[in-house]
Amino acid sequence: MEAEDMDLEGGAAAAARARYAGAAQAFLELAGQIPDQAWSRPALGVWDVRALTGHTSRALTTVETYLSTPATGELLAGPVEYFLAVRGATSPDAIAQRGKETGTALGEDPASAVRELVQRVTALLGKTPDDALVATPAGAMRLIDYLPTRTFELAVHTLDLARALGLPPPALLAPAVAASLELAAAIGSRSPAAGDLLLLLTGRTGLPEGLSVL
């Protein structure tokens, strides 16, 4: 690999890390603004604010857990392939229940639990190389290829949380939102609903029922 190519790859990796770190800090900032009485407020589907916060926190805990799990087999090519592989693999009821359980596990002071988690995962990433293997449910991935999937989860669910609380999204979230929109478009382009998504984004039509890239 030529020096210029290495510089480009290193720059992309640094940007991916920065977006993940910024999204994690944005989530932490928003969690710190949640009043005590708001944790039981309805948030998204069957989730209250606590459960949605718990589900969002899995974008941090999975990095920690999957890095500590031996990864074997062929590597997934990247975040698009990851989302295509896991799409529909877990039932909505199971996801909903796991969010509730994770929210409960945050304890009496969820915001402090999120702060500790962000600090711990940030420290872990600081000493973990880009090519460290991550054992995801879809297969082995390089850490730097897995992080955009977690940035996506942090971006989407921090936006969900901000909507539920009636608060503006933290400014730190903007780079993660932009990158996640690009990732969603890449996933959507591989979907039978690609045409519907393009028409939606260009204002030709409203949102068809059930339309999602995930």
How many CB atoms lie under 10 A from the CB of residue 139?
17
The predicted structure's pLDDT at residue 1: 53
The predicted structure's pLDDT at residue 73: 81
The secondary structure of the chain as a DSSP string is: --HHHHHHHHHHHHHHHHHHHHHHHHHHHHHTT--GGGTTSEEETTEEHHHHHHHHHHHHHHHHHHHTS---SSBP-SHHHHHHHHTTSS-HHHHHHHHHHHHHHT-S-HHHHHHHHHHHHHHHHHTS-TT-EEEETTEEEEHHHHHHHHHHHHHHHHHHHHHHHT-PPPGGGHHHHHHHHHHHHHHHTTSTTHHHHHHHHTTSS---TT----
Domains of the chain as residue ranges with CATH? 3-176 (1.20.120.450)
The predicted structure's pLDDT at residue 83: 94
pLDDT one digit per residue (tens) for the chain, 214 residues: 555 554 557 789 999 999 999 999 999 999 999 999 999 999 999 999 999 999 999 999 999 999 999 998 889 999 999 999 998 777 889 999 999 999 999 999 999 999 999 999 999 999 999 999 999 999 999 999 999 999 999 999 999 999 999 999 999 999 999 999 999 999 999 988 899 888 888 888 776 777 777 7
The predicted structure's pLDDT at residue 108: 94
* Tokens representing residue 41 in the block: 């407020």
The predicted structure's pLDDT at residue 85: 92
Dihedral (CA of 44, 148, 11, 122) sign: positive
The predicted structure's pLDDT at residue 5: 54
